[in-house]
């Protein structure tokens, strides 16, 4: 849960560092204030400050304070899983769109974690109690390959691999329009949107570096199928990068993929897109060293039916059939 507060600096505050100012007026530690600033939860008149910014009298500071969430230990729930691979140390899952990975934001059950501990009770003691076995995640409405740790050794090794980006992740996305060229790189900062805290934005002056490489697989009139690889793993990274390039992922409810359908002239394609209940983004391939043997392994999830059906429709329109 989050609470947005507003603080106006007084003459006595003038010249004080931003992190010290927040610590004093929000009744938090200086390190906690620095974390809020680095996470983009503090804005000054629409821009993100640095901890060292000197406060001026009359300056209006908005802060999004995170309220502690009630934590629930997950319970086993018999939810079917599509297992691509498993051994004594790891499980590789083909996650369907719509399945939340772990509890949070009001969701306490019917998650991937609930399914995992039902099928693999031993995972309950691996890593976080609330997110056992989870070393990376996919958005609720994104489908595709996910890896889960079954043992503590695998958990620590995989967590480090994802943190250091020593793995390979390739996504497939159907987006609106065409990219500037067949291959390229999007390198920006990424942070919370200054006006909508539930969204992210790459059009910011302060944030964390985000790097996405694209490779055009196919294009049609008004649409493209892209292969995208991540050099960083920021929240909503692909969706934000494509949207801010003017090429939102088709049917993306948060980053413009819903509104753009109103410009689709073909009634059949437009009707199909309006009926989609998630963005056309799929985690297609994961390459990573096995956490115990060190062997390089690659796992692929075929495109789901909803994306294949849209591709078929676009092909039919292109061929005139």
Q: What is the DSSP string of 284-300?
A: EEEEEE-TTT--EEEEE
Residue spans of beta strands (DSSP E) within the chain:
2-8, 42-44, 60-66, 83-86, 90-95, 143-149, 168-176, 183-192, 200-201, 208-220, 223-230, 281-289, 296-300
**142's tokens:** 């994104």
Positions marked active-site: 139
Cβ-Cβ contacts under 8 Å for 182 (sequence gap 6 or more): 215, 216
Strand, helix or coil for residue 258: coil
Shortest CA distance to 204 belongs to which of 39, 5, 61? 39
Phi/psi for 26 (5° steps) reads: -100, 0
First to last CA, the chain: 51
């Amino acid at each position: 849960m989050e609470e947005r507060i507003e603080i106006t600096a007084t003459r006595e505050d003038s010249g004080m560092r931003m992190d010290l100012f927040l610590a004093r007026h929000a009744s938090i530690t200086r390190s906690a204030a620095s974390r809020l600033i680095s996470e983009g939860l503090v804005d000054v008149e629409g821009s993100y400050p640095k901890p060292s910014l000197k406060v001026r009298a009359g300056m209006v500071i908005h802060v999004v304070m995170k309220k502690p969430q009630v934590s629930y230990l997950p319970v086993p729930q018999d939810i079917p899983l599509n297992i691509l691979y498993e051994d004594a140390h790891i499980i590789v899952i083909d996650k369907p769109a719509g399945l939340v990975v772990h509890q949070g934001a009001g969701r306490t059950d019917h998650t991937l974690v609930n399914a995992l501990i039902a099928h693999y009770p031993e995972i309950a003691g691996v890593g976080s109690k609330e997110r056992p076995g989870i070393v990376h995640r996919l958005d609720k409405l994104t489908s595709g390959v996910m890896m889960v740790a079954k043992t503590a050794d695998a958990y620590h090794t995989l967590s480090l691999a994802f943190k250091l980006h020593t793995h390979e992740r390739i996504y497939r996305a159907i987006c609106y329009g065409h990219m500037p060229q067949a291959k390229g790189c999007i390198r920006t900062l990424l942070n919370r949107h200054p006006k909508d805290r539930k969204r992210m934005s790459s059009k910011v002056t302060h944030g964390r570096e985000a790097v996405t490489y694209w490779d055009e697989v196919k294009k049609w009139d008004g649409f493209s199928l892209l292969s995208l690889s991540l050099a960083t793993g920021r929240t909503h990274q692909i969706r934000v990068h494509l949207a801010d390039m003017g090429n939102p992922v088709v049917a993306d409810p948060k980053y413009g993929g819903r509104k753009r359908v109103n410009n689709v002239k073909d009634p059949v394609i437009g009707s199909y897109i309006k009926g989609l209940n998630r963005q056309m983004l799929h985690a297609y391939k994961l390459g990573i060293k096995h956490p115990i043997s060190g062997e390089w392994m690659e796992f692929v999830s075929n495109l789901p039916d909803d994306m294949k059906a849209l591709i078929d429709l676009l092909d039919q329109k292109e061929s005139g059939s």
